Amino acid sequence: MNNQELFERAKRRIPGGVNSPVRSFQAVGGTPYFVDRAQGAYVWDVEGTRYIDYVQSYGASILGHAHPKVVSDLKQVVGLGTTFGAPTLREVLLAEEVCGRVEGCDWLRLVSSGTEAAMSAIRLARGATGRARVVKFDGCYHGHADFLLAGAGSAVASLGIATSAGVTPGAVRDTLVVPFNEVPDLDESVACVIVEPIGANYSLRVPRAGFLEGLRAECDRVGAVLIFDEVITGFRFRNGSCSPLVGGVIADLYLFGKIIGGGLAMGAFGGRGDLMDYLAPLGDVYQAGTLSGNPLATQAGLSVLGELSEAVYEEISKKARDLATGLREILGEKAVVNFGTLVGFELANYPEFFHEMLAGGVAFAPGPYEVAFPSLAHSDDDLDATLNVLGAQ
């Protein structure tokens, strides 16, 4: 079955043929490729076409696909049972790993997605402060909980959805959307401020000097909880929070996902002990999950974190820098943004760029606001091949 046939078949049972809207190609036009398998920097579609893959599951696969160590570790544990509904050693190990690498994150609760992490952390902030209001920033994406679907980035932005249908005015009544990189004046109705410390869902946005420090000071002034959503940025630029790279502000709560699940369903939120104490069973903020801390996901996360070192980040940063430099030479200085290991785009005609690359065997995300994720597996030859599609010499 080819991509087109499979897409037609998918559309008969799955709304829009996809299980997450950005995959539909609606923002760029055309038919999505259906992935058959992946290895390292590459994915192969069901027609046998190979793509150099910069999607990397939107950042979940920092080592590249099917990394041998992750695969062999997973093979060892899969036969031991895949979910128990009782605590396991690997949940403890993963919590220790994450907390040990993130300053200000002393306790951690594992969940199954970034959406769940954001939703739960905000419930916790509201429960702890007894306040309702949530301040978020335009273009930041924190998953698809109702009250966070206002002014969101990622696919919400590329599909032109300001606030999703089905989200009641009541659900977003307490959500205040303010411009990124501007410190808002808060008052004592604010439970929390949630921000991607480096914005990675509306192209790539580096905080201006003083922005995160200003948020910290405003939160402290009014007693609001500062939440860093590091679902993309956590363990992406360095071995822990990205905060030390952009001023070193310590948040009250952190959200993680993607990398810490090693490509399996995983999210986490954590932070200050006195806040996390409000969570059930210690406190009265309820939060739960059948698959939370899943044995396979925790193993995959541990296997990936075990491979990450300063040298790995240096290597991926160099690849991202080389990719950005090469792309800039062709597309123009302002069309490409690079910070550390990530590359973003500010192109007038992203769909044209996207399809030219795809036709040349290179997969970037099918949405103009998504960033590119070079992985450890991308070789210099892959980077050259990527640039050659655009006619680089």
Has 141 been annotated as catalytic?
Answer: yes
Q: Which of 231, 275, 323, 387 binds ligand PLP (CB under 6 A)?
A: 231
Considering beta carbons, is residue 23 or 131 the nearer one to ligand PLP?
A: 23
The pair of three-digit structure tokens given for residue 36, joined into one six-digit string = 């058959």
Q: E-strand spans in the chain?
A: 35-39, 42-45, 50-53, 107-111, 133-137, 175-178, 190-195, 225-229, 253-257, 267-271, 336-339, 342-345, 362-363
Q: Which of 74, 118, 219, 347 binds ligand PLP (CB under 6 A)?
A: 118
- Minimal distance in Å, beta carbon 59 to ligand PLP? 7
Q: Which of 34, 141, 202, 339 binds ligand PLP (CB under 6 A)?
A: 141
Q: Which of 56, 201, 241, 287 binds ligand PLP (CB under 6 A)?
A: 201
| End-to-end alpha carbon distance in the chain | 37
Q: Is 142 in the site for ligand PLP (CB under 6 A)?
A: yes
Has 202 been annotated as catalytic?
Answer: no
Q: Is 382 in the site for ligand PLP (CB under 6 A)?
A: no
| Whether 163 contacts 150, CB under 8 Å | yes
| Whether 75 contacts 68, CB under 8 Å | no
HSE of 299 in the Cβ direction (CA atoms, 13 Å)?
A: 19
- Minimal distance in Å, beta carbon 177 to ligand PLP? 15
Catalytic residue among 258, 319, 322, 382: 258
Q: Is 58 in the site for ligand PLP (CB under 6 A)?
A: yes
Which residues contact residue 133 at a Cβ distance below 8 angstroms, ignoring those fewer than 6 apart?
A: 174, 175, 176, 189, 190, 191
CA distances, 339 to each of 99, 229, 257, 318, 371 (Å): 25, 17, 20, 11, 11
CA 307, 311, 313, 315: dihedral to nearest 10 degrees?
Answer: -110
Has 45 been annotated as catalytic?
Answer: no
In angstroms, the CA 348 to CA 336 distance is: 11
Q: Is 115 in the site for ligand PLP (CB under 6 A)?
A: yes
Considering beta carbons, is residue 227 or 327 the nearer one to ligand PLP?
A: 227
151: left (phi over 0), alpha (psi -120 to 50) or beta: left
* Sign of the CA dihedral with 349 first, then 351, 354, and 358 last: negative
- Minimal distance in Å, beta carbon 27 to ligand PLP? 15
3-state DSSP assignment of residue 292: coil
- Minimal distance in Å, beta carbon 154 to ligand PLP? 6
Catalytic residue among 45, 53, 73, 229: 229
> In this structure, which amino acid lies at residue 356?
E
- Minimal distance in Å, beta carbon 203 to ligand PLP? 13
Considering beta carbons, is residue 16 or 283 the nearer one to ligand PLP?
A: 16
Binding mask 252-281 toward ligand PLP (x if CB under 6 A, else -) reads: -----x---------x--------------
3-state DSSP assignment of residue 256: strand
Q: Is 180 in the site for ligand PLP (CB under 6 A)?
A: no
Task: Please give the order of strands across the beta sheet that includes 35-39.
Answer: 35-39, 42-45, 50-53, 362-363
Q: At what angle do helices 380-389 and 310-331 cross, to 10 degrees?
A: 20
Considering beta carbons, is residue 51 or 141 the nearer one to ligand PLP?
A: 141
- Minimal distance in Å, beta carbon 187 to ligand PLP? 26
Q: Is 196 in the site for ligand PLP (CB under 6 A)?
A: yes
Residue number with the smallest Cβ distance to ligand PLP: 114
**Listed ranges 11-19, 114-122, 236-244, 295-303: which one lies at the site for ligand PLP (CB under 6 A):** 114-122
| Whether 51 contacts 184, CB under 8 Å | no
**Listed ranges 110-118, 157-165, 313-321, 346-354: which one lies at the site for ligand PLP (CB under 6 A):** 110-118
Considering beta carbons, is residue 142 or 216 the nearer one to ligand PLP?
A: 142
Considering beta carbons, is residue 110 or 383 the nearer one to ligand PLP?
A: 110
127: closest CA among 26, 274, 21, 3?
Answer: 274
Positions that interact with ligand PLP (CB under 6 A) = 58, 113-115, 118, 141-143, 154, 196, 201, 229, 231-232, 257, 267
- Residues serving a catalytic function are 141, 229, 258
